[in-house]
Structure 1
Amino acid sequence: MENDFVPLFAFASNVEFFGVFPECKSFVQNNIRLGEIIELPESRGFAVVLGVGMLEFATNLSVLLSRFAAEGPFTHVVQAGICGAYPDRGLEIGDVVRVDSEIVGDLGVVECDGTFTPWHKVCGNPTNGALPSVHAQVYESSSLRGVPTWLSGLRSAAGFTVNCCTGTASMAKERSENFNVDVESMEGAACFSICHAFCIPCYEIRAVSNFATTRDKSTWRIADALAALRTALSSKF
């Protein structure tokens, strides 16, 4: 571990925070306030819960980083949590991945025939007067500038950030194939975008809790995924 590395673990929910750091229950209430920084035991860094979804997560992270614009107690942001894996991408429930890139997946328009057109393709249409755009906006982790040693053992994955989670097999196929992505979450791109705006290095580590396909909560294994994430992080911090 780099000597100047002091992580801020950013979670979307209390479930994820306490699932990874259960020892904090001894001195933290069951539900911590959004944006409240918690100092972790044994000098492991800091943690914060920022809310579920791109808007809430981005708003609270922006407010937090604005408070520490000059100098804060942490040097890096590590977004940690669970995710859904798209079928046929070589991932299993319980796998822990390093998400190196994120795409905002459901920003766009639904055409009159029911098909979905991503926003970057809408903007690339010369008839609407917008500047052409060839590629979707991809938000990249700091690890793409060189994977730190402590992250090198984790499998790289491409992330897809959505406001509306996948609920059908056809949607899963469309999303994974059209965008060549592996996992789905609701906050990944927001974290990368905000951290880049504030010039603070950020990384994303997630454990697969379910497959992003036909919605069936009886097959979800959130506790197992959080246990795997806890084990992966405890071996590195």
Structure 2
Amino acid sequence: MKILVVAATRAELAGCCTAFELAEGNFIQTPHFDLLITGVGMTATAFALGQHLSAATRYKLVLNLGIAGCFDRTIPLGSLVNIVRDDFSELGAENKDEFLTIEDLGFGKSSYTPKDIPSFVHLNDLQLNLPEVSGITVNKVHGNKTSIQVLTSRLSPVTESMEGAAVFYCCAQLNIPCIQVRSISNYVEERNRDSWKIGLAIKNLNDWAIEFLTNS
């Protein structure tokens, strides 16, 4: 069985595409892994991944790769982290100043952790060297001081992406192990593009991914 690599955009994995000489397209197969480009956001991700996994040969692992914003300024920009819990942070209802999660409402689940990787699945140890953190998945990335303070008080997230929890959700439904690795491109703050390090984050992510996929 192979690994399925999942990313929102091809640009985030440009280095991998070059290193492995991958063809253009949203789904590319190689002898050792497949690559699925889903599009940005949880809706596009859930549709593309759910459609593919329901019709595909079984994978031993789904590897979700991408960049992310970070709430923790002790983590340097360009750092890689392993997301071990991801929440749909906006899934619920407002009750005046209180936020009710989908669990509070009795309608489902908003927090997901990846399924443990079975012992028979051989992987290298690269992912064990990455800090394990919690993340949130959002429709709207945060750039307002008040909303950031409310969110951090409620969930204490370390990272923010637009796809992660959707990948965990799909894998949970189909009982497939998953790893989500994110590279920190910016801090979550009032929008300040001059401080972003997207190029550095993408380079570090691709360097790690190339080594991981070469040795797994």
Normalization by structure 2: what TM-score? Answer: 0.85
Q: Does 1:64 pair with 2:52?
A: yes
Contact residue 100 and residue 143 of structure 1 kept, 8 A:
no
Look up the SS of the partner of 1:79 in the other structure. Answer: strand
The whole-number CA distance in structure 2 between the counterparts of 1:192 and 1:236 is 20
- The 5 A counterparts of 1:8-47 are 8-23=4-19, 28-29=23-24, 32-33=25-26, 36=27, 38-40=28-30, 43-47=31-35
For 2:188, the aligned partner's letter is: A
Which structure 1 residue ranges, 5 or more long, are not aligned? Answer: 124-129
TM-aligned CA distance change 1:79 to 1:121, over 3 Å: closer
- Distance in 1 between the 2:79 and 2:103 partners? 33
SS, match of residue 93 in structure 1:
coil
State the match for 1:155 in structure 2: 131
Q: What TM-score do the two structures reach when normalised by structure 1? A: 0.78
- 1:94 matched to 2:78? The reply is yes
* TM-aligned CA deviation for residue 179 of structure 1: 0.4
1:181 deviation in Å?
1.1
- Distance across 2 between alignment mates of 1:118 and 1:91: 30
Structure whose CA Rg is larger: 1
Q: CA RMSD in A?
A: 2.5
- % identity of equivalent residues: 23
Alignment of 1:64-143 (within 5 A): 64-68=52-56, 71-72=57-58, 74-88=59-73, 90-111=74-95, 115=97, 117-120=99-102, 123=105, 137-143=110-116
The superposition leaves residues 84-116 of structure 1 with CA deviations (integer Å, 9 ceiling, x where unpaired) of 00144x31210100000101111233455xx46
8 Å CA contact 1:85, 1:92 repeated in 2: no
Aligned equivalents of 2:118, 2:136: Cα separation in 1: 20
Gap change, CA 1:153 and 1:27, over 3 Å in 2: closer
* Post-superposition offset of 1:143: 4.5
Go from structure 1 to structure 2 and tell me whether the alpha carbon gap of 1:151 and 1:143 turns closer, same or farther (over 3 Å shift): farther
Q: CA deviation at 1:76?
A: 1.0
**C-alpha contact 2:64 2:179 (8 A) present in aligned 1:** yes
2:185 paired residue among 197, 209, 226: 209
Note if contact 2:64-2:180 (Cα within 8 Å) is conserved in structure 1: yes
> Which residue does the alignment assign to 1:126?
none
Give SS of 2:176's match.
coil
